[in-house]
Structure 1
């Protein structure tokens, strides 16, 4: 009888230890993955949304229209907000730069692949396929937490979304779905402030460590001229499954 009690006690202790290990692992791993989408109830929002966010590419000398290129893949680009804000002369006037955003969605871009040895530039991709009216404010409100700028949302919809989607709500819902499927590492500042490591490799590893669905060639880390993180991009086929994403595309 005594031996049975000892045996049961040992089993109970082993089970308790296993449970503690599992709980500890969950607690350790959870903070490594930042929130994929800023919660609608907690993210910063303007007291009043802008009303003059319409976009017309014909009024901008640097813009162009391309409706002839094929759509071979899609590129979801997420911007590292601190770098963006540091590059803006009027950052203090931008809502995004007045708050502590980390990654935000820059846009989802229908894109064309480089053909053989042909010249390939930004102008090779579809762009500004339709001139659209302003996005309804309810759509702005719904997706503001992943793209915290009315002007950005309107510009991305017209420059890129119109080349594949018929309605802005479909475009932004696809963005939301893809973005929500990516776990965001919360150690980016730590990496960027460490002068002894390769920033591009370390950022890529941080994403791979918490996103088992990703492979290294599914991620494109974009640094600016000062070697600061600018954007992280992911590429998809027409079924929105991950594909190789590199600068030769």
Structure 2
């Protein structure tokens, strides 16, 4: 069971959602022997590209709802059913406690919605995209957003934000959704890399 940190319970009204997708090769760089990252990074259950970080409810401002109620430990079957979506039992438990508790009655309902949204996304060839700067074609946050938009009907580029680390390596892509779970333009308060920011994509081992 995960208890909310002191003062972190917020039951603000939901105005939309964010589907957060982590680029696993970057996360796993240097973690292949880390026991805490075993499922995701050791290669024992496969090598991952994008994984589900979480489906997060949003408010009209930065004070998004979180830890809306106490939840129990995820059933083993729920973890098994979703381990390929988010290859970390700890991450699944955390997302359910912090975010899912504000938007679903059961972990199966929360993770089922996240799985449907994740599986509906067509991703670009990230290995090929990662090599474009080597061929002299600049790769920016805006370009990555546009490539995703080109592959997915109904997904505008302005519904996609990109997160990088301090050295410009891709960490995460986030898709902004309305209350109807359809893509929408990301709110102005959304944290993101600038559209013109040069990004690099780690291809993995």
Is 1:191 aligned to 2:129, yes or no? yes
1:244 deviation in Å?
0.9
Q: Which residue of 1 aligns with 2:54?
A: 107
8 Å CA contact retained: 2:141, 2:161: no
Q: RMSD in angstroms over aligned alpha carbons?
A: 2.2
Normalising by structure 1, we get a TM-score of 0.67
TM-score by length of 2: 0.80
How far is 1:65 from its partner? Answer: 2.1
Q: Would you say 1:130 and 2:74 are equivalent positions? A: no
1:174-216: CA deviations, max 9, x gaps?
0011111111122x23333425412323322321221122111
Q: Specify the alignment match of 2:186 in structure 1.
A: 245
User: Greater Rg, structure 1 or structure 2?
Assistant: 1
Worse-matched range after superposition: 220-229 or 200-209: 200-209
Distance 2:176 2:59 in 1: 12
Residue 65 in 1 paired to residue 4 in 2? no
Q: Distance in 2 between matches of 1:141 and 1:247?
A: 37
Picking from 69, 82, 92, the partner of 2:25 is: 82
Tell me the alpha carbon deviations over residues 145-176 of structure 1, each in whole angstroms, 9 at most, x when there is no partner. 11111100000000000011111000001001
Out of 224-233 and 198-207, give the one that drifted further: 198-207
Q: Within 5 Å, which residues of 2 pair with 1:170-181? A: 170-181=109-120
Change (3 A) 1:91 1:209: farther
Q: Structure 1 pair 241/55, CA: closer, same or farther in 2 (3 Å)?
A: same
CA contact (8 A) 2:24 2:50 kept: yes
Distance verdict in 2 for CA 1:89–1:182, change over 3 Å: closer
- Give the CA deviation at 1:64: 4.7
CA positional deviation for 1:113: 2.2
> Which has more helix, going by share of residues?
1
- 1:98 is matched with 42
Match of residue 162, structure 1, among 93, 101, 106: 101
Give structure 1 stretches of 5+ with no counterpart: 1-53, 115-119
Q: How many residues align?
A: 183
Distance 1:87 1:74, change over 3 A: farther
Mapped partners of 1:91, 1:192: distance in 2:
26
Q: State yes or no: 1:232 paired with 2:179.
A: no
Where do 4+ consecutive residues of structure 1 move more than 3 Å? Answer: 87-93
In the TM superposition, what whole-angstrom CA distance separates every residue of 1:47-105 from its partner, at most 9, and x where no partner exists? Answer: xxxxxxx42334xxxx7523242211110100001121237697464120112211000
Unaligned runs of 5+ in 2: 191-205
Conserved 8 A contact 2:11-2:68: no
- Report the secondary structure of 2:29's partner residue: helix
- Please give the secondary structure, in 1, of the residue aligned with 2:19: strand
